[in-house]
């Protein structure tokens, strides 16, 4: 599985040292036990709760928006008091909105206005940084 947030230098070292990325479809934790590897990187996110029957995994609802790719942006940030974060990816800038009540909230209801508001807050922050 390719994760955009992997540092490309890290991945190059991983492959140079014999690392292999394989994708598995898993339905329960016995599928994990059947994988004969010393190290497994689990990228299931919230899906781990169901996969591993682990109720300690806490959902955190979030709304995202994706902006056009901007290769010159090579940093991400989280601005807690403005409840917005941004992360560059190959396919675009990922903007995440946070709101009161997101912690322990497994709602998948979409609210486009949350995404629009996050992008507007991001624009304000960038304008202030340019100052």
List the domain boundaries for the chain: 18-57, 63-130
Examine the pLDDT at 120 and tell me if it is beyond 90: yes
pTM: 0.60
CA nearest to 61, candidates 10, 97, 7, 11: 97
Residue 4 binned pLDDT confidence (cut-offs 50, 70, 90): very low
pLDDT digits 0-9 by tens, 11-41: 788 889 888 888 888 888 788 888 888 877 7
DSSP state of 91: T
Average pLDDT, integer, range 60-66: 85
Q: Residue 56 has which token pair?
A: 């300690």
Instruction: Give the pLDDT of residue 5.
Output: 44
Strand, helix or coil at 104?
Answer: coil
CA nearest to 39, candidates 57, 51, 21: 21
Q: Residue 66 has which token pair?
A: 């994706």
Place of tokens 């304008």: 127
Instruction: Give the pLDDT of residue 8.
Output: 59
Cβ neighbours around 98 below 10 Å, total = 20
Average pLDDT, integer, range 86-103: 88
Q: Cα 45 from chain centroid? A: 8
Residue 118 binned pLDDT confidence (cut-offs 50, 70, 90): very high
Place of tokens 């807690």: 80
Examine the pLDDT at 117 and tell me if it is beyond 50: yes
Residues 6+ apart with CB under 8 A from 112: none
Examine the pLDDT at 10 and tell me if it is beyond 80: no
Cβ neighbours around 32 below 10 Å, total = 16
């Amino acid at each position: 599985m390719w994760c955009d947030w992997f540092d490309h230098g890290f991945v190059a070292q991983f492959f140079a040292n014999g690392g292999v990325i394989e994708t598995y479809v898993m339905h329960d934790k016995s599928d994990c036990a059947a994988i004969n590897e010393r190290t497994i990187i689990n990228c299931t996110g919230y899906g781990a709760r169901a996969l591993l029957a682990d109720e300690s995994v806490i959902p955190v609802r979030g709304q995202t928006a994706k902006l056009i790719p901007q290769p010159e942006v090579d940093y991400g940030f989280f601005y807690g008091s403005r409840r917005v974060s941004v992360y560059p990816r190959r396919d675009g800038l990922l903007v995440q909105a946070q709101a009161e009540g997101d912690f322990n909230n497994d709602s998948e209801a979409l609210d486009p206005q949350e995404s629009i508001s996050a992008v507007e807050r991001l624009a304000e922050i960038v304008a202030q940084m340019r100052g």
